[in-house]
């Protein structure tokens, strides 16, 4: 491959570059660029987020943006409207205002005398989402996008709904944003920081209430879902994901849909792959530089000749809630992703998984706490968040085992389960896990899928099940690349509950299964790596003084008197002082998910965040609380925010909301 020559250039940095929008709102940007960019203009790499450039994303920014800037780019990290050091108020995620602001930002940056007129957008998660969404608006200067851990369909594959089921991450991440956006600007950068802070606190939306008002795939979710019209994506797209992440499906979907797109999926959780775990990491910055050099500098870097799809095929591993490394190998598909691969079918029968159809008379009726070993929907905080040994959940499910495999099996793609079933309730949900069974009985989750059965034919117009009538349903499982070794078994586990990943249906249902099969996409088993990435590089890490170390707790509790089962999550993200400008920040998150095995209506989620900000003799703190529970007709939510200045309460606000259930 040909790499553009990028002699390292001396840098300058601006921590508070102002971008004033057409309505007068000033956004704050941090910029790294070559000293001589005024004489030798460079392209812009834009990262546009609500997560605070002054403290929130500093650790990853330090590793990433100076690296590109030294190699001839202006890296611009913008705080979105209403967040960090930017003015204004934020109403929602991916609002039209957010996307319009981004287009204005791109136009202004492209017109700077130090810019060559070309812009790329890069981001992970929120920044990966809005990079695609902004690209679909086709701003003139935007030529390329690198999107990581993102989605093409906001309803099907975000933190709100999955398979038409309500994800508890809808409350969990909403509580996170309730806290994130409650923080003040850095008093060193904004003379009116206190007024800005109080204005945010007064007007900040409690987003779970908004998201819960859209329980079907309506126009709200279609907005920002680039799957609606891929032809609008004319910028060149490099998409990256991880098998330990929630967003496994967008990468193969993009490469199948977009001519010229290239995609990489590794074993990683929700992190940039030059510092992600599980290892192996890759030289992401070098790969990204090849992409930028080709599309922003017209250099011949050979990216067009790369395989369309590069994925890490993980060796089957024993179950663990955390992995430092996943053994395996890199595979490559020259064209497309996985849709062209052959599939084999295994039938669900009373005797287990079989190569041919047989009698099936199984029933599925899981207690409400089934799903305790599902792990986090989106593993991100580097604690014990991955799916553990599935044997406990398997015991609460209906399972179908294969015979021991006579050869290694490489499952590459998205398995699909088709079932004929009847439900004794009009509203029910189903969770399907494809598990790897080790010779000693240990059960590793390979991949999974869920379905709200009233959404079996449409996420737009759901329809209640007719009790006891047969229905044909299809459950799509998430994409995966996983090798099951010879001599081991496959298991399909089916449950009617998946707590605390999913909010339960209002009644405990019993499903009768009369036919079913799972289609397994398979790739011929081969030997070593089919593609080799460079080793990871990075710039110097963020220089901080640790005040409080981080710590992560995840524990299960059973109240022996009431029978309530609880998952308790305590994430202390630590507290640090920036060694350059002195700002201190720290945060802690606590979640609790309670349910009684015999009562789906006992489900309750509570979240409590603490965020701290200190500058000289100014000490600021917010405490945010939120909770959700339900009956058969409604969801109930409460939220509270308290703001403290030097330990004195200066603001408090309470919210309550009731949202009717809609086929959920």
- As a CATH number, domain 343-521 is 2.60.120.260
- Beta bridge partners of residue 410, listed in sequence order: 483
Each residue of 570-611: pLDDT tens digit?
A: 999 999 999 999 999 999 999 999 999 999 999 999 999 999
- Going by the DSSP 8-state scheme, the letter that residue 167 receives in this structure is B
- Give the integer Cα–Cα distance in Å for 333 and 311: 9
Whether 9 contacts 70, CB under 8 Å: yes
Which one, of 480, 479, 305, 493, lies nearest residue 393 by Cα? 493
DSSP letters, 55-106, are: TTSHHHHHHHHHHHHHTT-EEEEEEPTTSTT--S---STT-HHHHHHHHHHH
**H/E stretch holding 288:** helix 284-297
Question: Which ranges of 150-278 does DSSP label H, i.e. alpha helix?
Answer: 169-180, 193-203, 207-212, 219-222, 250-257
Cα–Cα distances in angstroms (integers) from residue 87 to residues 29, 82, 193, 237, 453, in the given order: 12, 5, 10, 31, 44
Parts of the chain belonging to CATH 2.60.120.260: 343-521
Are 471 and 422 in contact, with CB atoms under 8 Å apart? yes
pLDDT value, residue 382: 76
Please give the DSSP secondary-structure letter assigned to residue 644.
E
Please state, for a pLDDT cut of 90, what percent of the chain lies above it.
Answer: 98
Asked if 573 and 323 count as a contact pair (C-beta separation under 8 A), the reply is no
**pLDDT for residue 495 is more than 70:** yes
Binning pLDDT at 50, 70 and 90, where does residue 3 land? very low
Average pLDDT over residues 272-284: 97
pLDDT at 383 (0 to 100): 78
Q: Which residues pair with 662 in a beta bridge?
A: none
Average pLDDT over residues 415-435: 98
- Helix %, strand %, coil % for the chain, to 5? 15, 40, 45
Calpha distance 415→476 (Å, rounded): 6
Cross-strand pairs, 618 = 615
Nearest by Cα to 317 from 485, 449, 509, 157: 485
Q: Mean pLDDT over residues 423-439, rounded?
A: 98
- Residues 392-414 have a mean pLDDT of 98
Question: What is the Cα–Cα distance from 295 to 307, expressed in whole angstroms?
Answer: 17
Residue 4 pLDDT: 47
- Are the C-beta atoms of 334 and 305 separated by less than 8 Å? no
Q: What is the pLDDT of residue 137?
A: 98
Three-state SS at 471: strand
Average pLDDT, the chain: 97
Calpha distance 614→313 (Å, rounded) = 45
Could you give the residue range(s) of every CATH 3.40.50.1820 domain in the chain? 11-154+227-333
First-to-last alpha carbon distance for the chain, in angstroms, is 52
Q: Choose among 81, 100, 101, 96: nearest CA to 204.
A: 81
Q: How many CA atoms lie within 13 A of 656 on its CB side?
A: 1
The neighbouring-strand residues paired with 347 are 354, 517
Q: Which CATH number fits domain 11-154+227-333: 3.40.50.1820, 3.90.1150.10, 3.40.50.1950, 1.10.10.10?
A: 3.40.50.1820
User: Where do the H-state alpha helices sit in 342-390?
Assistant: none
pLDDT tens digits, 523-571: 998 889 999 999 999 999 999 999 999 999 999 999 999 999 999 999 9
Asked whether 261 and 307 are in contact (CB, 8 A), the reply is no
Percent of the chain residues past pLDDT 70, beyond the cut: 99
pLDDT tens, residue by residue, 19-41: 999 999 999 999 999 999 999 99
Is the pLDDT confidence value at 6 over 70? Answer: no
CA dihedral 209, 213, 215, 221 (to 10 degrees): -90
Count of C-beta atoms within a 10 Å radius of residue 312: 25
d(CA 166, CA 504): 8
- Mean pLDDT value across residues 296-306: 97
Q: HEC string of 495-550?
A: ECCCCCCECCCCCCCCEEEEEEEEEEEECCCCCCCCCCCCCCCCCCCCCEEEEECC
Asked whether 420 and 470 are in contact (CB, 8 A), the reply is: yes
Per-residue pLDDT tens digits for 183-238: 999 999 999 999 999 999 999 999 999 999 999 999 999 999 999 999 999 999 99
Largest CA distance in the chain: 76
């Amino acid at each position: 491959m040909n790499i553009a020559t990028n002699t390292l250039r001396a840098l300058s940095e601006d921590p508070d570059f102002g971008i004033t929008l057409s309505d007068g709102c000033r956004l704050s940007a941090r910029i790294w660029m070559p000293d001589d960019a005024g004489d030798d203009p460079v392209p812009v790499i834009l990262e546009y987020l609500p997560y605070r450039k002054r403290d929130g994303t500093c650790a990853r920014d330090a590793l990433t943006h100076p690296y590109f800037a030294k190699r001839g780019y202006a890296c611009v990290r913008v705080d979105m409207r209403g967040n960090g050091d930017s003015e204004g108020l934020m109403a929602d995620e991916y609002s039209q205002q957010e996307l319009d602001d981004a287009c204005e930002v791109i136009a202004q940056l492209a017109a700077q005398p130090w810019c060559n007129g070309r812009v790329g957008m890069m981001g992970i998660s929120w920044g990966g989402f809005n990079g695609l969404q902004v690209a679909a608006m086709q701003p003139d200067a935007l030529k390329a996008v690198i999107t990581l851990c993102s989605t093409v369909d906001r309803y099907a594959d975000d933190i709100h709904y999955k398979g038409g089921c309500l994800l508890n991450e809808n409350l969990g991440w909403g509580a996170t944003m309730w806290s994130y956006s409650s923080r003040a600007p850095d008093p060193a950068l904004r003379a009116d920081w206190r007024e800005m802070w109080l204005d945010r606190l007064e007007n900040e939306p409690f987003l779970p209430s908004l998201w819960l008002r859209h329980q079907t795939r309506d126009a709200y979710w279609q907005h920002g879902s680039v799957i609606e019209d891929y032809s609008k994506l004319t910028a060149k797209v490099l998409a990256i994901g991880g098998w330990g992440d929630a967003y496994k499906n967008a990468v193969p979907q993009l490469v199948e849909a977009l001519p010229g797109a290239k995609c990489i999926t590794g074993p990683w959780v929700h992190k940039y792959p030059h510092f992600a775990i599980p290892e192996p990491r890759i030289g992401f910055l070098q790969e990204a530089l090849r992409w930028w050099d080709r599309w922003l500098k017209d250099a011949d870097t050979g990216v067009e000749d790369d395989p369309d799809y590069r994925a890490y095929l993980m060796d089957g591993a024993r179950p663990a809630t955390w992995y430092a490394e996943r053994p395996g190998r890199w595979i490559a598909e020259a064209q497309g992703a996985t849709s062209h691969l052959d599939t084999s079918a295994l039938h669900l029968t009373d005797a287990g998984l079989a190569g041919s159809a047989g009698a099936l008379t199984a029933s599925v009726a899981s207690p409400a706490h089934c799903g305790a070993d599902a792990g986090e929907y989106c593993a991100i905080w580097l604690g014990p968040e991955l799916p553990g040994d599935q044997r406990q959940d398997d015991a609460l499910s209906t399972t179908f085992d294969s015979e021991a495999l006579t050869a290694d099996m490489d499952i590459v793609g998205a398995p699909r389960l088709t079932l004929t079933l009847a439900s004794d309730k009009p509203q029910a949900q189903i969770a399907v896990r494809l598990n790897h069974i080790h010779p000693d009985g240990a059960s590793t989750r390979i991949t999974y899928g869920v379905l709200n059965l009233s959404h079996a034919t449409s996420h737009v117009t759901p329809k209640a099940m007719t009790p006891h009538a047969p229905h044909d349903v299809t459950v799509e499982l998430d994409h995966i690349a996983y090798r099951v070794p010879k001599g081991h078994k496959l298991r399909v586990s089916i449950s009617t509950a998946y707590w605390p990943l999913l909010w339960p249906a209002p009644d405990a249902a019993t499903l009768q299964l009369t036919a079913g099969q799972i289609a397994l996409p398979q790739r011929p088993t081969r030997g070593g790596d089919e593609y080799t990435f460079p080793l990871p590089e990075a710039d110097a890490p963020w220089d901080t003084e640790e005040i409080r170390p981080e710590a992560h707790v995840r524990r299960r509790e059973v109240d022996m008197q009431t029978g309530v089962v609880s998952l308790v999550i305590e994430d202390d993200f630590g507290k640090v002082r920036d060694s350059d400008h002195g700002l201190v920040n720290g945060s802690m998150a606590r979640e609790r998910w309670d349910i009684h095995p015999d009562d789906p209506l006992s489900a309750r989620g509570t979240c409590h965040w603490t965020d701290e900000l200190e500058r000289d003799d100014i000490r600021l703190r917010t405490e945010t609380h939120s909770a959700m529970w339900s009956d058969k007709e409604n969801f109930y939510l409460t939220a509270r925010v308290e703001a403290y200045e030097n330990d004195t309460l200066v603001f408090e606000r309470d919210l309550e909301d009731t949202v009717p259930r809609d086929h959920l």
